[in-house]
Amino acid sequence: MTDFAATKAKFILPEGVVYLDGNSLGPLPKGALERARRVIEDEWGEMLIRAWNLAGWMDQPRRVGDKIAPLIGAERGTVVMGDTLSIKMYQALAAALTMRPQRKVVLSDAGNFPTDLYMAEGLIQSLARGHVLKTVAPEAVEAAIDESVAAIMLTHVDYGSGRMHDMPRLTDAAQAAGALAIWDLAHSAGALPVDLAGCKVDFAAGCTYKYLNGGPGAPAFIYVRPDYLEKARPALSGWLGHVAPFDFDLDYRPARGIERMRVGTPPVLQMSVLEASLEIWEQVDMTAVRDRSIELSELFIREVEARCPALVLASPRDPGRRGSQVSFRFGHGYAAMRALIARGVIGDFRAPDRMRFGFTPLYIDEGDVRRAADILAGVVEERAWDRPEYKKREAVT
Amino acid sequence: MTDFAATKAKFILPEGVVYLDGNSLGPLPKGALERARRVIEDEWGEMLIRAWNLAGWMDQPRRVGDKIAPLIGAERGTVVMGDTLSIKMYQALAAALTMRPQRKVVLSDAGNFPTDLYMAEGLIQSLARGHVLKTVAPEAVEAAIDESVAAIMLTHVDYGSGRMHDMPRLTDAAQAAGALAIWDLAHSAGALPVDLAGCKVDFAAGCTYKYLNGGPGAPAFIYVRPDYLEKARPALSGWLGHVAPFDFDLDYRPARGIERMRVGTPPVLQMSVLEASLEIWEQVDMTAVRDRSIELSELFIREVEARCPALVLASPRDPGRRGSQVSFRFGHGYAAMRALIARGVIGDFRAPDRMRFGFTPLYIDEGDVRRAADILAGVVEERAWDRPEYKKREAVT
């Protein structure tokens, strides 16, 4: 049994705030600041360059990867940290295309987070070998898989609607057609159970500043299926992915195993804060997180639909088909979200009209959900969005 | 006049240590920890997701880039932060090759830091269009520039020997032959004056954890020549390089200006610590840094050559032809460096036999240099390296 009151006590949340945006940036775990102090004062300050050995900085990307592995159903030694999700998706796709040289289609869907599509566009344009990025409706992916497809590249849980793809089924379908399956776990890792090994996923990547609470700019991770670890070509072949970086060879030879997906110097400070944040997961069962997240989101949907009929559910109604976030369409959504935030309930807005709310049981309980629904009902009832300062668009929504 | 006693007082250095390895990892500035606390507690903890607007996180890569620009002779708006030096070199080279589609040679030299060569290898292999990475001796670069060369890709100051290329001359030679010039400033930015604009350099990139004291894993920067800002194709086309990231378009359209070289979510925490560290440079004149660095390194060379004849200078003797670091060849170099570090003088070792010492006047003064030379002379005289624990290789040298 996971004790969610105990996990909640491990976060610092501002007084009076209900935080329903952990799907964008997880809140601050209590241990994070002390870990940052330790890295800055005791390691950087005192050990200086020697900390690469003494404080274990060099092994950190693999060590932290091994801590994330059980959260996504991955084997030890198949996950490594570094860079950003965009970069890791690029590496995964570049490796996949090398493994299917005769096939020219990268299949994705219109619900994918745009950066994955943009990175794929950039790669395809660089390759200039007639590849095509084919983007279909999410529900049309399976039917679009054929023998022209080199790889499917999908985000498991849609950033906007929370709609969840059937990972085992689509992975099977892709592989049955001879394609590879690449999954973006941005809204999955730490939100719900994922079984990369069980699904025989080929490549996956994810970020750690959302549900894994690693802090702003925390590094990404990449997963490579075990039998590809010695085969996958790291297109971004940096020196820390070399088999012997400190030999300073002039020619690149990939490291054995997942280390080859490392590129340059790891973000030690960010990764250390992440490492501290990951300690919370040691006492957490992902199935319990999933069950509780569904309870909370179902409660929120019931409350909002009963009290705010102008808001239209934009997420799948079946909780088994969505991740841990819920969106509502509302014409005044942008300003209404600003008004809601001003009253202490923090969600976010996604164009064109979606108000988005994340339900992360590590620090959200039933009382928070009821309170959020109450305040939202008040905003709608009072037309609190109807003020000029709420309508002015900010740089980041 | 730069007051180097005042800059030295802005660093926290361990008692009894002479730190001659700022060319690998700069030491801890006093303001760094408080800045980390502020980002973690006041911004991440209190503002949560709103900090992207309220704390200026979204603009930070450009804002910090503009602080680095004057240190490398770059115009405002031509430098942006993110990722690692390896990734930024890849972006620069990919953009350059797109601008010279008929030319197939990337010209570099055997003194380049290997990751630049590895990243170029990876790019060339991905492109599969007959490009060749041609690696000549450093002194042979100029003669090897001809009309087959798409770009020269060079590290300004050799990581091992400190040898410095003639940036204006080689940039001119490349451009006269119709090639582009890409410079790696890893051992230049913060070490000596660089004039990117004056040299009309096409692309440059550098790291910030060495002479700019940004801390372990601090992000890299990339420079793009002003007249290419609207033309350079970002092969790594991530969503934060999109003209309107929060429109969530399905198609990539590059941002205007240097922002297009952004990729994914910036490492906010690392970059904030870097931003605090950069405040030291507000009172520093780079010409004074260069002059003082030469004085200190000349003193060290004189002392070592007089007292340790077994050590052979591996750096150019003419200080005008080297950066701010000095290397000596010594058959027992690895163990001798370990012994030296055990006595409080921290330099480092680069294979096969080089003992490397950096002279960074921001926190190294004449007394430190004399003390380092004394202790090194003691190590050599006593054959202090001749102990098994010093011969055992560590993971990171």
Q: What is the DSSP string of B60-90?
A: HHHHHHHHHGGGGT--TTSEEE-S-HHHHHH
Beta carbons within 8 Å of B121's beta carbon, 6+ residues apart = A237, A251, A252, B133
Place of tokens 């303001």: B31
Tell me the C-alpha distance between B96 and A392, whole Å. Answer: 40
Token pair for A365? 């309980």
Q: What is the DSSP string of A39-105?
A: IIIIIIIIIGGGHHHHT-TTTHHHHHHHHHGGGGT--TTSEEE-S-HHHHHHHHHHHHHHH-TT--E
Would you place residue A20 in the very low, low, confident or very high pLDDT band (cuts 50, 70, 90)?
very high
Tell me the C-alpha distance between B177 and A13, whole Å. Answer: 60
Q: Do A4-29+285-391 and A33-282 share a fold?
A: no
B252, A199 contact by CB (below 8 A): no
> Could you tell me what percent of chain B has a pLDDT over 70?
100
Task: Kindly determine whether residue A239 and residue B14, on different chains, have CB atoms separated by under 8 Å.
Answer: no
Would you place residue A163 in the very low, low, confident or very high pLDDT band (cuts 50, 70, 90)?
very high
Task: Kindly determine whether residue B86 and residue A264, on different chains, have CB atoms separated by under 8 Å.
Answer: yes
Task: Report which of A137, A89, A132 is spatially closest to residue A110, judged by C-alpha positions.
Answer: A137
- Whether A28 has a pLDDT exceeding 80, the answer reads yes
Lowest-confidence segment of A172-181, A242-251, B308-317 by average pLDDT: A242-251
Residues of B with catalytic roles: 113, 184, 209-210, 356
Name the residue facing B40 among A33, A123, A251 (closest C-beta).
A33
What pLDDT is stored for residue B392 in this prediction?
87
What pLDDT is stored for residue A396 in this prediction?
75
Half-sphere exposure of A372 (CA within 13 A, CB side): 28
DSSP-based helix, strand, coil % in chain A, nearest 5: 45, 15, 40
3-state SS assignment for residue B180: strand
Tell me the C-alpha distance between B395 and B19, whole Å. Answer: 21
**Cβ contacts of B99 on chain A, cutoff 8 Å:** none
User: Where would I find the H helices in B132-182?
Assistant: 141-144, 167-176
Place of tokens 């996923």: A201
Would you place residue A67 in the very low, low, confident or very high pLDDT band (cuts 50, 70, 90)?
very high
- State the nearest Cα–Cα gap between B215 and chain A, in angstroms: 7
| Terminal C-alpha separation, chain A | 37
What pLDDT is stored for residue A1 in this prediction?
78
Sign of CA dihedral A181, A183, A188, A189: positive
What pLDDT is stored for residue A362 in this prediction?
98
Name the residue facing A236 among B12, B87, B273 (closest C-beta).
B87
What pLDDT is stored for residue A351 in this prediction?
86
Task: Kindly determine whether residue A44 and residue B85, on different chains, have CB atoms separated by under 8 Å.
Answer: no
Sign of CA dihedral B265, B269, B275, B280: negative
**Cβ contacts of B123 on chain A, cutoff 8 Å:** 235
What are the b/e assignments for B355-383, b being 16+ CB within 10 Å? bbbbbbbbbbeeebbeebbebbbbbbeee
- State the nearest Cα–Cα gap between A216 and chain B, in angstroms: 6
Tell me the C-alpha distance between B126 and A236, whole Å. Answer: 9
What pLDDT is stored for residue B19 in this prediction?
98
- Find the closest chain B residue to A15 by CA distance: B46
**Residue B283 region by backbone torsions, left for phi larger than 0, else alpha for psi between -120 and 50, else beta:** alpha
Tell me the C-alpha distance between A39 and A57, whole Å. Answer: 10
Interface-testing mutation among B13, B52, B57, B236, with chain A (most A C-beta atoms within 10 A): B236
CATH 3.90.1150.10 fits A4-29+285-391, yes or no: yes
- Find the closest chain B residue to A37 by CA distance: B33
What pLDDT is stored for residue A97 in this prediction?
98
What pLDDT is stored for residue A11 in this prediction?
98
Name the residue facing B46 among A14, A94, A217 (closest C-beta).
A14
Q: For residues B83-98, give the mean pLDDT.
A: 98
- State the nearest Cα–Cα gap between B201 and chain A, in angstroms: 23
The per-residue pLDDT for range B321-380, each reduced to its tens digit, is 999 999 999 999 999 999 999 999 999 998 889 999 999 999 999 999 999 999 999 999
What pLDDT is stored for residue B149 in this prediction?
98
Tell me the C-alpha distance between B354 and B327, whole Å. Answer: 6
Tell me the C-alpha distance between B55 and B53, whole Å. Answer: 6
What pLDDT is stored for residue B351 in this prediction?
86
CATH topology of domain A33-282: Aspartate Aminotransferase; domain 2 (3.40.640)
A272, A39 contact by CB (below 8 A): yes
The per-residue pLDDT for range A199-227, each reduced to its tens digit, is 999 999 999 999 999 999 999 999 999 99
Q: For residues A27-39, give the mean pLDDT.
A: 98
The per-residue pLDDT for range B238-273, each reduced to its tens digit, is 999 999 998 889 999 999 999 999 999 999 999 999
- pTM comes to 0.97
- State the nearest Cα–Cα gap between A75 and chain B, in angstroms: 25
Task: Report which of B157, B152, B127 is spatially closest to residue B140, judged by C-alpha positions.
Answer: B152
B150, B104 contact by CB (below 8 A): yes
β-sheet bridge partners, residue B358: B325
Q: For residues A136-163, give the mean pLDDT.
A: 97
Distances (CA, A) of A256 to A70, A122, A216, A260, B124: 21, 28, 31, 6, 22
- Whether A397 has a pLDDT exceeding 80, the answer reads no
B326, B297 contact by CB (below 8 A): yes
- Average pLDDT in chain B: 96
Interface-testing mutation among B18, B84, B184, B273, with chain A (most A C-beta atoms within 10 A): B84
**Which tops the pLDDT comparison, B250 or A366?**
A366
Name the residue facing B118 among A45, A239, A397 (closest C-beta).
A239
- Whether B205 has a pLDDT exceeding 90, the answer reads yes
Name the residue facing B250 among A19, A135, A341 (closest C-beta).
A135
- State the nearest Cα–Cα gap between A201 and chain B, in angstroms: 23
Tell me the C-alpha distance between B283 and B178, whole Å. Answer: 39
Which residue among the candidates A209, A211, A300, A349 is catalytic per the annotation? A209
β-sheet bridge partners, residue A348: A356
What pLDDT is stored for residue A393 in this prediction?
84
Instruction: Judge if the upstream peptide bond of residue B193 is cis by omega within 30 degrees of 0.
Output: no
A362, A4 contact by CB (below 8 A): yes
> Could you tell me what percent of chain B has a pLDDT over 90?
95
What pLDDT is stored for residue B4 in this prediction?
97
Per residue, the 3-state secondary structure of A89-150, as one string, reads HHHHHHHHHHHCCCCCEEEEECCCCHHHHHHHHHHHHHHCCCCEEEEECHHHHHHHCCCCEE
What pLDDT is stored for residue A395 in this prediction?
75
Sign of CA dihedral A364, A347, B82, A92: positive
- Whether B396 has a pLDDT exceeding 80, the answer reads no
A182, A93 contact by CB (below 8 A): yes
The per-residue pLDDT for range A268-325, each reduced to its tens digit, is 999 999 999 999 999 899 999 999 999 999 999 999 999 999 999 999 999 999 999 9
Would you place residue A193 in the very low, low, confident or very high pLDDT band (cuts 50, 70, 90)?
very high
Domain ranges of chain A: 4-29+285-391, 33-282
Instruction: Judge if the upstream peptide bond of residue A352 is cis by omega within 30 degrees of 0.
Output: yes
What pLDDT is stored for residue B1 in this prediction?
78
Instruction: Name the residue type at position B243.
Output: V
- Find the closest chain B residue to A38 by CA distance: B33
What are the b/e assignments for B294-316, b being 16+ CB within 10 Å? bebbebbbebbeeebeebeebbb
Active site residue A247: no
Overall CATH class of domain B58-282: alpha beta
**Cβ contacts of A12 on chain B, cutoff 8 Å:** 41, 45
What pLDDT is stored for residue B240 in this prediction?
95
Q: For residues B45-63, give the mean pLDDT.
A: 97
Instruction: Name the residue type at position A214.
Output: G
Torsion angle of alpha carbons A357, A358, A363, A364, nearest 10°? 50
